[in-house]
Amino acid sequence: MAAVYAVGVGPGDPELVTRKAERILRSVDVILAPVSNPVEASVALGTIREFIDESRQEIIVHQFPMTADRARLVPAWQEAAALIAAHAEAGRSVAFITIGDPLFYSTFIYLLRILREQWPQLTIEVVPGISSINAAAAETALPLVEGDEKMVVIPATAGVEQIQAALDSCETVVLLKVKPLFSAIIELLRSAGRERRTVFVERVGSPRQKVLTDFEEIAAYSPDYLSLMIIK
């Protein structure tokens, strides 16, 4: 029985893939890359193309629907977990790749639970990756926290009330996936007087990276799904 690896490949820059991740990606027999839309390329797979050999390794792109409907999500998670387990039980090592880190708002979290419950005999190793938060802070040279400061990370879809509560209680607020509530977030930041120390970063580390520090430019922008805001 071969090993299963969950490999974080960072935010999109191949140079931010760790040496351990590269070593494992070069060695495994099967690489499973997630996509939310079958007509779009996998960001994770695009990040690691230079490290893999498609003539020797099997590359599988598996769709996970972009929805909160568990009736659609659970079958996709189950199918992916069964696919991983089947390869591992047949003696083929498998790497599930994910942008950022495998245990930070990642689809792999759901697969890990299924694999541990239904295939407890599998050896699973998690390889951490650089998160978009760390990469965005580096791009803007913006310290996230220091001393006794507190930081909270919130998916913007949690709602305006939770974002307001975070702004009231923490020195640093990081909002992920800001697209769905972008207009409401902009108005909230204006009313809270937090415009001057807000940065917006989209697709950090990729050729499509966008960094905005002027609040009026941020407010006028139409964000991508892979975008975040750091608010000090």
CB 211 within 8 A of CB 140: yes
Would you state the pLDDT for residue 53? Answer: 95
Read off φ and ψ for residue 22, nearest 5 degrees: -60, -45
Report the distance separating Cα 34 and Cα 96, nearest Å.
8
d(CA 112, CA 109): 5
List, for residues 199-209, the tens digit of each pLDDT value.
Answer: 999 999 988 99
Q: How far apart are CA 32 and CA 58, in angstroms?
A: 8
* % residues pLDDT > 70 (the chain): 100
The rounded Cα 19 to chain-centroid distance in angstroms is 19
| Domains delineated in the chain | 4-127 (3.40.1010.10), 132-231 (3.30.950.10)
Q: Answer yes or no: is pLDDT of 66 > 80.
A: no
Q: Could you give the CA distance from residue 93 to residue 35 in angstroms, rounded to a whole number?
A: 21
Q: Residue 188: exposed, middle, or buried by beta-carbon count in 10 A (0-12, 13-18, 19+)? A: middle
Of 67-76, 100-109, 146-155, least confident by mean pLDDT is 67-76
- Pairwise CA distance, residues 46 & 127, whole Å: 18
Residue 133: strand, helix, or coil: helix
Query: Which of 150, 16, 21 is closest to 96 using CA atoms?
Result: 21
Helices 70-89 & 108-118 angle (0-180, nearest 10): 60
Per the prediction, the chain carries an average pLDDT of 94
- Would you state the pLDDT for residue 36? 83
What pLDDT sits at residue 196? 86
Confidence of residue 157 (pLDDT cuts 50, 70, 90): confident
- R_g of the chain, CA atoms, integer Å: 19
CA angle 151, 156, 158 (to 5 degrees): 95
Report if pTM > 0.75. Answer: yes
What pLDDT sits at residue 195? 85
